[in-house]
Structure 1
Amino acid sequence: MKKFFNKFKSCFEQSFDSDSLNSLARKHLFVQRKSVLDGKKFLELLLFSERDTKLQSLEDIAFDFSQYYGMNISKQGLQERFNDAAVQFLAAVLQEQLKRNSIDAISAENAYRFDKILIKDSTRFKLPQQFKEDFKGHGGHGIDSQISIQFEYDLIAGGVADLNITPANRNDQKDSKETLMGIDPNCLYLRDLGYVSQAYIERIEECNSYYVNRLNTKWTVLDTNKHPLDFVKIEKQLNKKGLRYLEIDIFLKKGKKLMPSRLIVEQVSARTYSERISKAERAARSKGYSLSDDYRAKTKLTMIITNLPKEWANAEQVRKTYSLRWQVELIFKTWKSQLKLNRIKPVKIQRFKCQLMAKMIWIIINRRLLAAIESEPDKEGKPMKLSEWKFFKVVMRMSQKIRKVIFHGHHLETWMESLFTTARKRCKTELKKGKNNKEEILSIFLA
């Protein structure tokens, strides 16, 4: 336990060292001579002031500053400090946190077949219209300004692999295309269909990595004889034999290139099919065409593709593995409910950006804490898995203690021991009957 605390203490000291933060602030021209508000104090104010920025005023931030530092800053002076230099400084701090987020100070060792199991998705929310020049909406429904947060995390280490703030009109496909070179060898990638392109599949193959994704129904899919797959026949076969699912060896065609893959097909519920086909028929009528039998058959199926070897995961295990992707939705729900991420009021654009990036930094800090606590085995030598929702709720209540520990040198080891004990007692993941267990699914990939 002492070794664990010493490693984490070192991690914190590196992340929030005054000299390092103020050096970054000077580099990005944020620190002004004789200013009472340096880089470290500015970061602290944004991290630990009122979480709900829709309720927060400049007066509130200025009062918080005077309470902690015994110095005064005017509302006007504070408003002036929310500038482009401040945005660049916070962006640099965020990137530094992401670099350290691999948590080599905690434990990166594992017995899994993969170096990382990476899940990526995005969440969007509407912004005040005055932000539309910086954050354009995706169009439709009168949404002129909207933001997208791209998030990727590692299921094994618990760390954040990517956390990027973009306008909503930069969709998931564009993100996938622009981040292809970030795909690493010997990793397992789980992504929503919006990120899945043939170039993405090809890049994973080139890097000797692995994917579990839904199939894009517009792709050309061939059987092992290199004939187009007959989805009408497949759907009838499932019905006739009363099968829950069916696995087929296939090729994905990209130009002249054929990429071998495994396809797992499963019938959807009658309700899901009804919703899918109704939506497709409305679109077809509006554009003046009719739906093919092949398309109708596809709407009755959930189709998952993977290049995982069969000896590593059978069809049922592949299906369960894909279900892990839905955990990211719980993470987004936690952010919005606990951090009030989507509660935004019209303010100076630089202030909005600084406050949002501060929340991103807060997320990284607390996911690092969560991963650190989970990395320590319990009395029986088993890993402890915590609920992200419960954990964030606990640290929100302890935020002022965290503030004193990080920024004011208050007994880090004593506080971490208290957090460690509290989290293990109050934040355990509750296993629900009939639900897929993350730990059981991950155990599939133990080498």
Structure 2
Amino acid sequence: MMQLKFIQLKNTVLLFVLILLSCGNFSNTKSEKLAKQNDGEILRQAQNDTNNKMVKKIIVGANQTEKYLPLLKGKRVGIVGNLTSVIFKNPEQTSYTHLVDSLLALNIDVIKVLSPEHGFRGASDAGELVESGKDTKTGLPIVSLYGKNKKATIENLKDLDIMIFDIQDVGVRFYTYISTLHYMMESCAEANIPLLILDRPNPNGHYVDGPTLEIENKSFLGMHLIPLVHGLTIGEFAKMLNGEKWLENKAQCNITIIPVENYTHNTFYHVPIRPSPNLPNDQAIKLYPSLGLFEGTDINAGRGTEFQFQRYGAPFLNPEIMTFTYIPESNFGAKIPKHKDVLCYGEDLSNETIHGEMTLKWIIKAYQNATDKSKVFNTANFTKHAGTAKLQQQIEAGLSEKDIKATWQKDLEAFRKIRSNYLLYP
């Protein structure tokens, strides 16, 4: 229809110009020039109109209530969620209500909340134990999935008919929400209850990169033999867990996924709510796959500042090279940051451009410019984050980023082939 209107409009303008020509109101040169200008302007306007109509707003799984409310009616419902588990009230995703509050208002029988790392309302530090208790707003019981037990027990689930999983992920192996997903799928399989996954975009879902986990380094920071950046949404990852039979005893969880509408893996997605206390904005999320490796070192990655994962520094980095300085202080999400109240030398990356890759250049530079290299790596913790002991060895041996990345390629290509079997989005 747009194309037909455009042709009609274009023909009308050209006819008008020809009529003017025939009446002798313009010289041939001027009239030809005007016709070309009008023709080009119409073409540009038609293309703009088409592009505007083609750009559709992303609709996350939680917002598609018409698809999943019928699955919840008359059921006793549990929710694995955190501060990002929301239903947006406007297309710009600037106004929202929490999924738990929304479902209760819709008379869905929500029985309990199961809370991952950082807590249900998102107030806990990274790595800080999350206590079970009650949600002060709703009075619902909260079961911690990041305390003594990271896996829900049969007892936790015995009074439920269905479980919902709705968390904004950022697509990095050591970001622990996919480990929580793994355990929840195991628990649901054991309890024989279905798991409803309300999918959300992966802001780092447009690429696959990084070293692949080796089985001997398996931990809650990495439970699967996947690259550091896996390029999957939560829904796609759940399909992989079932499809590759990675759950304990090769169990199969009964999952239903509400996919994101109008999303592809190449679609830029602005994360409207910080997915955890120390990922405050899109820049931090983009840099997290690279700067997250500093979590396994004695180098601060911006915790204790307002620029978490947008800078790095330590007192033992060469101040003649690392001229940017800052002092980490106790703040929201980092009660005791590394080098608290101590001047750190490093780099500011808040305006750094990075797209479609993780990079080692900053951790290599930090190591090379450490005045005491023995202070850099916390070996066991770094290996858990990297998924392999080889990366530390390669950095210490002075290998370039290009040479190190070359050693990943065979595993990355193998994973991409596996990944392709589970994609929900182009």
For the aligned pair, the TM-score class normalised by the smaller chain equals under 0.3
The higher relative CO (CA closer than 8 Å, separation ≥ 6) is in 1
Structure 1 or 2: larger helix share?
1
Query: Taking structure 1 as the reference length, what is the TM-score of the superposition?
Result: 0.24
Query: Taking structure 2 as the reference length, what is the TM-score of the superposition?
Result: 0.25
Max Rg structure: 2
